[in-house]
Amino acid sequence: MTNPMRTLDLETEFKRLEDLIVNSETFFLAGHLNPDGDTIGSMLAIASVLKRLGKKVRLFSQDPVPENLRFLPHAKSIRSRLPSSKARFDAAILLECSNPARGGNLEPVLKRCGKVVNIDHHKTSEFYGDINIVEPHSSSTAEIVYRLFHNMTVNVTRREATCLYTGMVTDTGRFHFPATSPRTLEIASRLLETGFKFSRVNDLLYATKACEGLKILGRALESLELKAGGKLAVLTLKASDFKHFGARSEHCENVINYGLMPPGVKAAVMFREEDGRISVTFRSRGHIDVSVVAKAFGGGGHRNASGCRMKGGLPAAREKVLSVLTRLLA
């Protein structure tokens, strides 16, 4: 049963954000590093509504929009360069950033923003904003954004529905993950009523993959190891693999999910070498909470889907993470 006080607090925060939107003119929007469909889709949907309300919006992502998401309306409006030091904003809205550092080097900009809004559905969120709309029971940030629009009595356009549906369908694994709720499917149904071409979106997201992505998937599957008595699947991608295939980090989107396919596997982890750091992605089934492992190494996320970035080399990162995961699965 939902905690009444938590619901009241959340609705209060929604109302505060509505008031902020009404009374503000300039907005800075940003999402997390290595952005996914939920981050990009939510950002573009909010930006579209703000612009329709006559607001000025600057969209930022330190890492570029992944190739498979560039079909989204106005994706080109998301820049990878921070605004000039003279730019001032009435409000910053950070999407899916459990802390500001998850969005990259945002501090110089946030200091020039009147208010900071944190919209997130990860239970590891640090509630750093002046306004915090954090709902771990929501399937996605896009679901939360839809609720904001509903509260504001905003009629969602086809293009905005495309963006929100993309966020929801990617973060739920095509409505497969446990966070999918009756409310999630009801919202998806309402989005479909706008008439956007959802089958085309699904085709672009799940039936279209760059050749580099297919090759890096093959290399990751070649590296697959089973540990902890077959309960843990380990995938590894080295920097040399990406160089060999001319692939980028975006090309290994969803590769981690293959680690959960072998019978008996309860958790999967993928190590990816990138620019002197190791990106670690976790997935799990049922009650296995991999977010505690991610948080132990400075990351965060959900119980069944989390991640972190670690400094140092691949062997050291593997040893540290696998030690914790093995104890978790014991």
Q: Tell me, what's the pLDDT at 5?
A: 37
Give the separation between CA 317 and CA 166, rounded to whole angstroms: 32
- For 223, residues 6+ apart whose C-beta sits below 8 A from its C-beta are 234, 235, 236, 237
Looking at residue 275, its pLDDT comes to 80
Number of residues that this document lists for the chain: 330
14's enclosing H/E stretch is: helix 4-23
Distance (Å, whole) CA 33 – CA 63:
6
CA 44, CA 60: separation in Å to the nearest integer?
11
The pTM score is 0.87
Q: How would you write 125-141 as a 3-class SS string?
A: CCCCCCEEEECCCCCCH
Q: Which residues pair with 29 in a beta bridge?
A: 59, 93
211-329 CATH: 3.10.310.30
- Closest by CA to 321, choosing from 286, 282, 283, is 282
**Local confidence band at 2 (pLDDT 50, 70, 90 cut-offs):** very low
Strands of 277-284's sheet, edge to edge? 225-227, 232-237, 267-274, 277-284, 305-311, 300-301
- pLDDT reading at 235 higher than 90: yes
Q: Token pair of 24, please?
A: 């503000």
Under the banding of pLDDT at 50, 70 and 90, the label for residue 330 is confident
pLDDT in tens, 79-90: 999 999 899 999
Asked if pLDDT for residue 194 goes beyond 90, the answer is yes
State the pLDDT confidence band at 203, using cuts at 50, 70 and 90: very high
Could you report the per-residue pLDDT of 278-318, keeping only the tens digit for each? Answer: 999 999 998 999 999 999 998 888 889 899 999 989 999 99
CATH 3.90.1640.10 fits 4-206, yes or no: yes
Least Cα distance to 158 among 96, 79, 77, 72 occurs for 72
Residue 225: count other Cβ atoms within 10 Å of its Cβ.
Answer: 11
| Higher local confidence (pLDDT), 218 or 248 | 218
Domain ranges, ordered by start, for the chain: 4-206, 211-329
Share of the chain above pLDDT 90, in %: 85
pLDDT of residue 7: 45
Tokens for 62, please give them: 């330190």
